[in-house]
Every structure is written in C-alpha cells, then in structure tokens.
Amino acid sequence: MDKRFEILLSMAMKLVTPNTEVMVTCDARKQYPRQDFRWYERIQKEFEAEGARLLGDGHMVSPSGQSSSDEQRTFVRCMVNGREDTAITLFRTHPRLWTRLCLRFLTKAPSTLRSVALQTFFADETSVLTMNLASMSMLESPPNEDRHYLSPDISMKEMIAAHERHVTAWQAQRTSCPKKRFRTMDEFIEIDGDATNTTKRVRKSYGGLTKGDIMRFVKCRESEAAVIQKDLIETLAGDKKEDEGAREFAV
C-alpha cells in the first residue's frame, strides 16, 4: 500500500468521524470566571444595536461529561439576528500559561483568539460562514460551506453587511432555497449540529481530502492525488479490504 495513503487515511478519518461531543448550555461566569467578559459584552452590545439578541452561552461536552472547552477555558456566546435566520457566535480563547507559551514559541500561532462568526443555514444543508479571522486550516472548504475570512479589525456593522453580500451571492446560485430559522438556543444547537454532521458526510463522499489537499500534504502530482483520493473514498466507504495497518481506522 502507498505509504502516502497510510499517512492521509488517519487524517481523513478524523475529518469524517461523527463528533462525540455536543454543545450544551453553560453558566459561563461560574464555569469560566477567568474569561474577559468585557470583550463578550462589548461585542454583544454592538450586535444588539443592529437588531440581534442573545440566545445563551454554550460549550462542548463529551458523553463522559468532560468539556474540551476547558483546555482553552472558553465558551461560545450565541446570538441571532433580527430576522432570526443568521447565527452570531463569539468566543475568546484563554488557555493556561503553559499552553500559551507553547503556542507562541513552538507554532508561532496567536496564544489568544477572539473570534466573531456569522453563519446562515439553508434548507439544502448548505451554509454561508463569515469570520473575522484568517483561515487557520490547510484544508480546502467543503462544497456545502461557503466560507469567508475578514480582517480582525472590521467593525461588526461592516461584518454584517459583508455577510449579507455573501449570502445574497450564495442564494443567487440556488433557486428558491429558503434559509433555516431559529428562535432559541436549543434550536440553534440542533441546526449547528446537523450542519457539522452534513459537512462530515460531504467530506466522506470525496475521501475526506480533496485532490488539492492531498497534493499539498504529500507533494505529489494531480494524477497521483487522484489515485490516492480514490483509495480513500473506497476505504472510508468500506468497499475494499484494508490491510492490518489501516484496519484500525475503519468506519
């Protein structure tokens, strides 16, 4: 078996395996007392001035009750716009000192992130996402998600206008595809979870990684990437026998 395939299979499996964690509501002030609540409240007020309202705070929890949010000591503040068709999520990471030092000196990544995201979901299981961060992923966006990354210095009013332009352009490619609407935190959590699972299914349909992804990761020609991608698709679909080295990754 191609060694490059073995390397990429593990990566692809992580991208297509259903999440075991789910978002649940939380008492942010009690569970994350070290967070910068002034930042959350300032951004919240800017969106409220544009007609949005608060839904609640949430974090990710595993079946065992542990929260991966604890590592970054962060929670997600969730809002909805005035038309109740666009989610607004805010989060600020606040990792422990040792984690911050590792991020700064080993990866050159920022030790603290302040993220604002607007996302509109559609009935055909596609979505439009606008964030005020540069993309930190080396992967190409899946075709069911239209992602846009803006300057962290953009104002919230400008960000709303940009997102609405992105939504209009995305809708122009689809005939009569309505937006999903939601009014409560529970409804948002359900829609967001469905969108995550849809993205995993879409990724699985093309092997988890696009040919472009494969070419970047293993430095190969497009023709070679096509062969590797075909093997990934067949393996993830369970249509071929894996050798012992890959069997542990089977879906």
- Whether residue 112 is predicted with pLDDT greater than 90 in this model: the reply is no
The strand pairing partners of 166, in sequence order, are none
Quick: pLDDT tens for 167-192: 999 999 876 789 999 999 999 999 99
pLDDT at 65: 65
250 domain-assigned: no
Q: Which CA distances in Å does 40 have to 22, 85, 129, 158?
A: 22, 21, 20, 18
Instruction: Give the least confident one: 2-11, 60-69, 118-127.
Output: 60-69
CA 170 – CA 173 distance, rounded (Å): 6
184 domain-assigned: yes
Number of domains in the chain: 1
Q: Which CA distances in Å does 152 have to 125, 132, 159?
A: 28, 5, 10
Both tokens of 149, joined, read: 């990354």
pLDDT at 68: 53
Q: Give me the half-sphere count of Cα atoms (radius 13 Å) on the Cβ side of residue 213.
A: 22
CA 102 – CA 105 distance, rounded (Å): 5
Quick: pLDDT tens for 29-73: 998 888 889 999 999 999 999 999 999 999 988 776 665 555 556
30, containing H or E segment: helix 28-31
Percentage of the chain surpassing pLDDT 70? 82
CA 10 – CA 245 distance, rounded (Å): 11
Domain housing 97: 19-205
102 domain-assigned: yes
Residue 119 and residue 86 in contact, taking contact as beta carbons nearer than 8 Å: yes
pTM of the model: 0.83
> Of the spans 3-12, 62-71, 77-86, which averages the highest pLDDT?
77-86
pLDDT at 2: 67
- Mean pLDDT across the stretch 108-137? 84
